[in-house]
Structure 1
Amino acid sequence: MDELIKAVKAKLAAMAKIEKTGFSDPAKAAAYFAEKEIIIEDIFKLCEALSIQYGDETEALKSTVKELRDNLKGQAANPRELTRRELYYALGKGIAAAWAGNHKALADLSFSPNLKADNWTNPKDVSWGEKGWKVDRAALGEPMGNMATNDQYLINPIYENEIMQDAAKKSVMMNLVRHRPMMGPSIFLPTRDRGGVQLHWLTAYGQQITGSKPQGAQRVELKAYTLAGFIPWFDEFEEDVFTDLGAMFVEEFIESYGQEFDRQCLLADEDPFTGALAADGTVEVEIAGADINALTWKDFRDAVYRVPAEERKDCAWFLHETVLNHIANIEDADGRPIWRRPTEAMPGKLDLYPYHEVSIMPQLGAVENDTPFAIFMNPKRIQHGNRKGIEIKKFDGTTESMEYGELFLRFRKRDGFLVTRPSGNMVILKTKPE
């Protein structure tokens, strides 16, 4: 029982370190504090059970738990706002600590070592103790391993959430697709098309339910792979540049990740995922000619009506701004623009349906014969699998480092993308073959 009491005390010591980082999203703050409150409630119930036999020894524990619970509720009601400067400074300090191998500083910033190759370390399972890093699921106080040679770390999950919110501003698709949390490298999703559920009216008690067998769900596999990138710089890690270092990491990451997210959703062709433009089964509509300049309003209207009305109400066009500009310049027989006059604002819809300008889509001048250049679809048909965690790792043993003093920071993140049921639900506009 003494060991059990020691375990409770160890958990309380860890719980006493309520995050002082701050939050910018109230929803994320609420979820964080709710999780902590559940853990405290469990400890409190354990103390109640122990008090039957060990009343004197558990009274102090119960008092500590009660104080922690009251403080937690106060912080949950009024979470401190995390400013951008604080985020950049903490990230920069964490990157510098990872580079220098300062594990105590990393622990204070809630960064965690990542020792596994495929199944990454869960930050919730790792904590900092008197002997260094340890795995909470292992024996009490057991060291995590030889940390002297480890140089890859997962950033604070709160910082990860903030960075991904910034990345969504650089991406067109990130706020439109359906997101799925992934606990492993692969999950199977049931996907149904319209009409998959059969309904029956029962007009009497005990009436037999008859009818055709409902359409079964199609099981599709969503796989996650690791995406890696390298960020170079030349600065030294002094405290006055922590903010600049953190800002540089955020800016470089969100810019590259936002574009790659859109590419995997729309253009990718088995590298490693397949985007909507390359998906099998999509409806292809050819415009009047092999030259993109033959594009007319009729092509867009004909394409829209290839999608059933039930699906069409949630669809939008995705195309490059130069293609949109071509549409804006189509004139009537009197030489006047048929979409908008020069003094009018850009309409928010394209032939009654919303549109999104995507910079990675084919530009007007680059569209050749037999080339897809626009797609009409419901973006929720694209599934994004999100495996939590952004890992950083230093690289300095390079030729560039020795010759020019150029350093490299590798980041890694795990994601999966899957286009579901494109047949009859997605329409692609393309030029004719020659």
Structure 2
Amino acid sequence: MKKSLLTITKAKDLGEGVIEAIVASDSQDRHGEILDLKGLDTSKYMQNPVVLWAHDYSQPPIGRTLSLRKSEGKLIAKIQFAINEDSFAHKIYKLYKGGFMKAFSIGFIPKEMDGDTYTKAEMIEHSSVPVPANPEALALAVSKGLIKEIDLELFAERQKGSEMNLKEILAKRPEDLTGEERAFLIEKSAELTEAQKMVYKDVLPEEKEEVVEEDKEEKKDEVKEELKSLSEAVSKITQSLDSVVTHKNINFSSKTKFSGELTKEEKTKLWFKGLVTNDFGEYHEVVGKQAMTTDDNGAIIPPEEFIAEVMRLEEEYGVASRYANVRRTTNASLRGIKGGDDLEFVKTSELGLKAKQGTSYEQYNLSHLEYTGIVPVSDTLLEDSAIDLWKDLTNRFARANAKRQDELIFTENDTDDDVYGILNATGTAQISVGASIANFDGKEGVDVLNEMLYAVPTPSMSNGRFYLHRTVLGRIQRMKDDDGRHIWSPGIDGGVSGTIWGMPYTLTEVLPALTEIEDGDPFMIFGDLRNTTLSIRTPMQTQFFNTGVITNSDGDVLLNLMQQDAQAIRARVRMNQVHVFPEAYSILVAGDIS
């Protein structure tokens, strides 16, 4: 069964047919229903991120989703309308841009529900919707020149095609209804007669029967008996578990029981069980030989669904995986060309073409560096359900990977392997805020931020964005230009997104906080991150162990596994980066530039 929920919002125009808007939220919709965005799976949708008109699956899409992100109970989409391919899509874009349309509706398949809240769902599309088309608003759009009178006919025709008629649907047999018609019929079920409900009983949800007063006591007794039986069963299971637990280490001696086709969570738990016991026999038996992929050391790698979920979450937690040129490879190194000059064709006296003289290209061979992270595993995690284990491990791995990637791209200063983040790379345009970070305020701060924009080539400027720590943004939000206007503008979700001097910015915790910046420290970046390639060697490697110590970067012992009867997972990732065009970045430096 497909459902759709409506959101009224104000779209933010980004130019060239692109807008940013809230397409769903976890607030109650007009039908009293709530979609919990934490349980909304968007991964399959992003494989074919179409934007439809009014959930009309019979018509071509009017646009596509460039990016999706969840923020403070809102699902925010960056949408590109097909303004060059479809005149109707162009009109819809202009109506959003002018504020005459403000509604979006998300289509999804419910998976789990608690009361009126959809706690788990799979997103399948989202649509531009008029809800309803306001004749006065459209007339005003004509008067302002946003659309022409002839476009109203096209708009009305599309709107008519997207509307559903209950009478026409009831003329069809239940098995002939489309998914959209089924959803519409369920929404209108209160208007159906009892005879109509009988005809479409396989389509409509089962109505709950009211329990008559005299049956309540009988049902209470039945519930008490069931609870008693359940309590006895839990007691037996607890005794059974106690017999296999020794020194806080879980003994997976018995087979794990799953029914039907395994979910991705159950596959991960079987793999995890094999990792703990060093026996993947059951994983092999249930999942099959195809899933028994090994790394170059012969270790069994996690299920592909687990790795895909970690990669998806990396984009939510990190910045580099969203904006850099990410390349995933199974090779030990990555080869490419670095240099900023474009090829220039010149007139020649003979057949053939000659490259521009003085082009600064060079070939690079990027070897992957190995990074190891250790995740302590508690007994509670080992005893968790497959779903809880899945959530815990995927989020831990994703957060750690995203942070390491961001540090590698922005702040790395590895003199041993000659790897430097953008803050420490040579060839960037460095701009001083003055004698110290205290000068980064008022008129001086406004001027240097403006200078950052024009210190990079035009392509990098047009596709660029600022990267900074949230505390630095706090100071920028106070700065005003000569006319007393703030150079910072908030986005649709407040300060998390917005613009500085009209250019977008992204916050990252790996860049220096305001209180950490000393004289001479670089602390803020502007540019197009696609000029940096982040190469990640797949697959991720893991190892389970319960002896040894876990230390921090200073060598301090954080956890002695043997002394505390604890366990841990060692994760090994291999990655590296290269700034193919460092001139594409400008860096803000506190104090004088050496």
What TM-score range do you get, normalising by the shorter chain? 0.5 to 0.7
Q: 1:268 to 1:238 in 2, by over 3 A?
A: closer
Residue 522 (structure 2) aligns with: 372
| Contact 2:346–2:355 (Cα < 8 Å) also in 1 | no
Provide the residue aligned with 1:263 in structure 2. Answer: 407
Q: CA deviation at 1:116?
A: 3.7
Query: CA shift at 1:104, angstroms?
Result: 2.3
Name the residue aligned to 1:14: none
Task: Map 1:268-283 to 2 at 5 A.
Answer: 268-270=412-414, 273-283=419-429
Question: 2:44: which partner in 1?
Answer: 25
Preserved contact between residue 468 and residue 524 of structure 2 (Cα < 8 Å): yes
Contact 2:310–2:395 at 8 Å: present in 1 too?
Answer: no
Note the C-alpha offset of 1:97.
1.8
1:94 corresponding residue in structure 2:
271
* Superposition map of 1:137-176 within 5 A: 152-176=299-323
1:20-419 alignment, distance < 5 Å:
24-25=43-44, 86-107=263-284, 108-109=286-287, 111-112=291-292, 114=294, 116-117=296-297, 152-198=299-345, 208-209=351-352, 213=356, 215=359, 217-235=361-379, 241-270=385-414, 273-295=419-441, 296-330=445-479, 338-339=486-487, 346=495, 348-398=498-548, 400-419=560-579
Higher relative CO (CA 8 A, sep ≥ 6), structure 1 or 2?
Answer: 1
Q: TM-score, normalised by structure 1?
A: 0.65
Residue 428 of structure 1 aligns to which amino acid in structure 2?
I
**Sequence identity percentage:** 17
Question: Counterpart of 1:348 in 2: which secondary structure?
Answer: strand
Query: How many residue pairs align between the two structures?
Result: 323
Partners of 1:83 and 1:227 in 2: how far apart? 35
Change in Cα spacing, 1:178 to 1:236, as seen in structure 2 (3 Å) is same
Write the letter of the residue equivalent to 1:320.
H
Deviations 1:194-214 (A, max 9, x none): 322426599xxxx73465656
AA at the equivalent of 2:486: I
- In 1: Cα distance, 2:293 partner to 2:532 partner: 33
Gaps of 5+ in 2: 1-40, 49-110, 112-119, 123-261, 550-559
Larger Rg: 2
Q: What do the CA deviations read for 1:96-124 (whole angstroms, capped 9, x no partner)? A: 1221133222323455364744xxx5xxx
Secondary structure of the structure 2 residue equivalent to 1:155? coil
For the 8 Å contact 1:191–1:420, the answer to whether it is kept is yes
Q: Determine helix, strand or coil for the equivalent of 1:402.
A: coil
| Superposition deviation, residue 343 in structure 1 | 13
Of 571, 582, 586, 1:427 maps to 586
Q: Could you tell which deviates more after superposition, 154-163 or 238-247?
A: 238-247
Contact 1:179 1:385 in 2 (8 A): yes
Greater mean alpha carbon deviation, residues 283-292 or residues 339-348: 339-348
Q: Classify the secondary structure of the residue corresponding to 1:252.
A: helix
CA contact (8 A) 1:269 1:275 kept: yes
Give distance in 1, aligned partners of 2:368 and 2:506: 26
CA distance in 2, matches of 1:343, 1:353: 11
Gaps of 5+ in 1: 1-21, 30-80, 122-151
Instruction: Quote how far apart the aligned CAs of 1:28 are.
Output: 7.1
1:34 corresponding residue in structure 2: none
Please give the per-residue CA displacement for 1:273-312, whole angstroms capped at 9, x wherever unaligned: 3211111111111113313343410011122212122332
Larger strand share, 1 or 2: 2
Q: After alignment, is 257-266 or 246-255 more displaced?
A: 246-255
Query: 1:250 deviation in Å?
Result: 1.3
Change (3 A) 1:354 1:341: closer
8 Å contact 1:390–1:412 — kept in the other structure? yes
Is contact 2:337–2:580 with CA below 8 Å preserved after alignment? no
Equivalent residue letter for 2:351: Q
In the alignment, is the contact (CA less than 8 A) between 1:24 and 1:83 conserved in 2? no
1:331 Cα shift?
A: 5.1
1:224 & 1:157 partners in 2: Cα distance?
22
Q: Match of 1:174, SS?
A: helix
Distance 1:343 1:248, change over 3 A: closer
In structure 2, how many angstroms separate the alpha carbons of the residues matched to 1:188 and 1:286?
A: 35
TM-score, normalised via structure 2 length: 0.49
List per-residue Cα deviations over 1:3-34 (Å, max 9, x = no partner): xxxxxxxxxxxxxxxxxxx99537879xxxxx
The CA RMSD over aligned residues, in Å, is 3.6
Shift of 1:406: 0.7
**1:366-388: CA deviations, max 9, x gaps?**
21111111111110111011222
> How far apart are residue 357 of structure 1 and its match?
1.0
Residue 255 to residue 213, structure 1, CA distance change in 2 (3 Å): closer
Q: Secondary structure at the match of 1:385?
A: strand
Distance 1:115 1:356, change over 3 A: closer
Q: Distance in 1 between matches of 2:306 and 2:565?
A: 28
* Residue equivalent to 2:196: none
**Residue 392 of structure 1: how far off its partner (Å):** 1.7
